């Protein structure tokens, strides 16, 4: 196949060290050869050979960004939890709902009862909605099966989604998400069961990383460390649901194990920020959950900036605290609720989100990166964070290939 040349675009390169944060290039050109970007820069500097050997596409002034990387989702699950949403609006807290048998465990029951095909069809709808707004890479966590049989089922569905759609799927094993009913009162025994699941799941090729919900309604610091130690023995990178409802000191522990990311972080301490900075751990901000749970304590954005911790932004698509499939809405909420700048939000959905998944071959429009990018009918990148309920996506290019129309 001939190289592909895109001309007359405004490129948002998200390049490391860009003075304006965006890496904006007016009247830019982008050359793809196969699945890789081989050149990006101003049209006036385009090497002459590309104009003669490449298939040319006139972007007609469209803005081009890297494809969004949604680095924290729980797309594969059964059922829904609108009733719990109603309970919270009538005064019950998220923690009270969970302790009364709702929350994660209610989704576990629905997920265990669902067939792989039913789970696939439900998750496919969510995935298509994300793709329709420019997502080209997505992380999908397990954690609603809580047994080897059902965790494997969910991870198989996640892998199938990546095989049958023009999107790259990374899978994360979140067996330590909640205590299943059959282990009531025996959390340490369940943690051992989680550890026992890891080897077969890794051997089957179903897992790219391991996550834990470290919280007073989840698992303790000591139990989290047991999971991290087991992941380390298997050569699997770790991530952490950290400091969402309280300061459990999970971020500092995760940093000790070189965690790819710590996510949520509303109660993150400055000591935790320092530990993450030292380990190169990404802070994943989840404004959908912050909004949906009506939280009032913001993650410590000023400390994260001060210590230069990369900040990613993600949907946290899940049935209980962020039933959201809109990255564009997350960009807006990251700015309006968490006070990120548009530059920070867009880097958070591209370069920093890719870093949160341990992926260094995407998230920037520079030579050597994957040719995953999106054309938008806007003049300036801030517009992607500004409008609420709008979707100005024109085209998605995945692996260098224009994709057919994507409908949710």
pTM of structure: 0.96
More reliable by pLDDT, 222 or 216: 222
Residue 101 in this model has a pLDDT that exceeds 70: no
Question: Which tens digits make up the pLDDT trace of 358-387?
Answer: 999 999 999 999 999 999 999 999 999 999
Q: What is the C-alpha to C-alpha distance for residues 321 and 325, in angstroms, rounded to an integer?
A: 12
Write down the H helix ranges in 19-176.
48-53, 82-89, 94-99, 104-113, 116-131, 148-164
Tokens at residue 215, please?
């919280």
| Distance, CA of 133 to CA of 1 (rounded, Å) | 27
Please state the rounded mean pLDDT for residues 285-298.
95
Helix (H, G, I), strand (E, B) or coil at 308: coil
Q: What is the mean pLDDT of residues 174-203?
A: 97
Quote the CA–CA distance of 25 and 237 in Å, as a whole number.
35
What pLDDT, on a 0 to 100 scale, did the predictor assign at position 405?
74
Is residue 111's pLDDT more than 90?
yes
Question: What average pLDDT does this structure show over 110-115?
Answer: 97
Is 2 within 8 Å of 55 (Cβ atoms)? yes
pLDDT greater than 70 at residue 48: yes
Q: Do the beta carbons of residue 205 and residue 158 sit within 8 Å?
A: no
- In the predicted model, what is the mean pLDDT of residues 41-64? 93
What gap in Å lies between CA 379 and CA 370, rounded to an integer?
A: 24
Q: Is the pLDDT of residue 59 over 70?
A: yes
Structure confidence at residue 94 (pLDDT): 67
- Non-local CB neighbours of 102 within 8 Å, separated by 6+ positions: 81, 84, 87
CB 65 within 8 A of CB 384: yes
| Measured distance CA(302)–CA(199) in Å, rounded | 40
Please, which residues bridge with residue 402 across strands?
397
Helix-then-strand count for the chain, H and E: 16, 16
Please report the pLDDT score of residue 140 as a whole number: 98
Task: Dump pLDDT digits (tens) for 137-155.
Answer: 999 999 999 999 999 999 9
Round to whole Å and give the CA distance between 381 and 273: 29
Angle value at C-alpha 159, between 2 and 258, nearest 5 degrees:
95
CB 263 within 8 A of CB 318: no
Choose the weakest-confidence range: 293-297, 298-302, 338-342: 293-297
Place 173 in a pLDDT band, splitting at 50, 70 and 90.
very high
**pLDDT classification of 68: cutoffs 50, 70, 90:** very high
pLDDT score, position 84? 85
Coil, strand, or helix at residue 313?
strand
The two structure tokens encoding residue 202: 């890794």
What mean pLDDT comes out for the span 394-399?
97
Residue given tokens 């709702």 in the structure block: 102
CA distance 321 to 315: 10
pLDDT: is 374 or 96 the higher one?
A: 374
pLDDT band of residue 343 (cuts 50, 70, 90) is very high
| Region of poorest pLDDT, from 103-112, 162-171, 288-297 | 103-112
What pLDDT is attached to residue 93? 81
Mean pLDDT of the chain: 95
Q: Are 34 and 363 in contact (CB under 8 A)?
A: no
What tokens appear for 294 in the block? Answer: 């009506």
């Amino acid at each position: 196949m001939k190289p592909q040349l895109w001309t007359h675009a405004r490129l948002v390169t998200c390049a490391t060290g860009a003075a304006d944060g965006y890496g904006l290039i007016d009247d830019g050109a982008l050359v793809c050869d196969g699945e890789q970007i081989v050149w990006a820069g101003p049209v006036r500097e385009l090497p002459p050979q590309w104009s003669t050997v490449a298939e040319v596409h006139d972007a007609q002034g469209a803005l081009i960004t890297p494809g969004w990387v949604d680095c924290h989702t729980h797309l594969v699950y059964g059922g829904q939890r609108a009733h719990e949403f109603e309970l919270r609006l009538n005064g019950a807290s998220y923690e009270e709902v969970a302790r009364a048998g709702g929350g994660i465990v209610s989704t576990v029951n629905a997920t265990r009862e669902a067939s792989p095909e039913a789970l696939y069809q439900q998750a496919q709808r969510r995935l298509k909605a994300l793709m329709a707004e420019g997502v080209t890479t997505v992380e999908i966590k397990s954690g609603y099966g809580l047994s080897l049989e059902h965790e494997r089922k969910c991870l198989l569905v996640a892998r199938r989604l990546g095989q049958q759609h023009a999107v790259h799927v990374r899978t994360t094993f979140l067996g330590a998400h909640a205590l299943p009913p059959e282990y009531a009162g025996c959390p340490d025994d369940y943690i051992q069961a989680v550890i026992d699941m890891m080897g077969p799941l890794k051997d089957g090729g179903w897992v790219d990383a391991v996550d834990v919900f470290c919280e007073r309604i989840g698992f303790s610091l000591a139990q989290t460390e047991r999971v991290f130690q087991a992941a380390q023995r298997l050569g699997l990178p770790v991530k952490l649901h950290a400091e969402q409802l309280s300061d459990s000191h999970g971020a500092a522990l995760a940093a000790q194990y070189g965690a790819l990311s710590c996510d949520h972080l509303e109660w993150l301490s400055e000591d935790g920020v320092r530990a993450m900075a030292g380990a190169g751990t990404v802070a994943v901000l989840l404004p959908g959950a912050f909004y949906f749970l009506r939280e009032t304590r913001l993650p410590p954005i000023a400390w994260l900036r001060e210590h230069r911790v990369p900040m990613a932004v993600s949907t946290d698509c899940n049935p209980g605290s962020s039933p959201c499939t809109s990255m564009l809405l997350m960009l807006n909420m990251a700015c309006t609720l968490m006070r990120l700048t548009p530059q920070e939000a867009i880097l958070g959905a591209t370069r920093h989100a890719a870093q949160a998944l341990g992926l260094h071959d995407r998230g920037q429009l520079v030579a050597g990166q994957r040719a995953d990018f999106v054309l938008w009918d806007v003049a300036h990148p801030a517009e992607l964070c500004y409008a609420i309920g709008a979707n100005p996506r024109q085209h998605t290019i995945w692996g260098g290939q224009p994709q057919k129309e994507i409908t949710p």
